[in-house]
């Protein structure tokens, strides 16, 4: 079993466990509502909201993961991946800060020339991630997904 298959299996098991947990939580909320007291009804509604929010979070996370994976496949197919294989690494396995910052500046320059291209936004998001700026990486990846979606719709 390869690494990707293991990850997919782990995600599948986690989603199933969360689904079971949401079911139990929802049924407890319904039970509280059925008791009929005003406090129980209020608590029951609050408890029912928890699995609804949880389902939304799981859905949004999985959707973002699928969107990012779709872009990663396209970038790979177009041979536009950032090559980090020869970059110096720290003992943790992460790319050294100096090398990541140098790569980031190069990729940022490419992005500045074509900011409305999803490919340059994707590469910039990956460079942000390698440089350790996860917040900007997420925001830039969202932009890349939106730009790719617009391109595909055209």
Residue 17 has pLDDT above 90, yes or no: yes
pLDDT digits (tens, 9 = 90+) for 19-69: 999 999 999 999 999 998 999 999 999 999 999 999 999 999 999 999 999
Return the pLDDT at 47.
Answer: 94
Return the pLDDT at 59.
Answer: 94
Q: How far apart are CA 137 and CA 104, in angstroms?
A: 11
Global pTM value: 0.79
Q: At what angle do helices 38-77 and 118-130 cross, to 10 degrees?
A: 110
Return the pLDDT at 97.
Answer: 86
Indicate the SS3 state at residue 89: strand
What is the number of helices (H) and of strands (E) in the chain? 5, 0
pLDDT digits (tens, 9 = 90+) for 90-132: 888 888 888 888 899 999 999 999 999 999 999 999 999 998 8
What are 34's two structure tokens?
Answer: 């059925």
């Amino acid at each position: 079993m390869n690494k990707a298959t293991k990850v997919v299996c782990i995600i599948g098991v986690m989603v199933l466990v969360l689904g079971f947990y949401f079911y139990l939580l929802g049924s407890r909320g319904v039970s509280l509502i059925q008791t009929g007291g005003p406090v129980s009804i209020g608590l029951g509604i609050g408890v029912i909201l928890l699995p609804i929010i949880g389902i939304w979070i799981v859905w949004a996370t999985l959707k973002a993961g699928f969107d990012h994976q779709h872009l990663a496949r396209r970038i790979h197919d177009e041979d536009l991946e950032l090559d980090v294989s020869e970059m110096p690494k720290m003992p943790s396995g992460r790319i050294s800060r100096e090398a990541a910052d140098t790569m980031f500046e190069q990729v940022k320059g490419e992005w500045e020339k074509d900011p409305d291209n999803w490919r340059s936004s994707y590469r910039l998001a990956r460079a942000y991630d390698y440089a350790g700026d996860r917040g900007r990486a997420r925001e830039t990846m969202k932009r890349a997904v939106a730009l790719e979606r617009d391109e595909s719709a055209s």
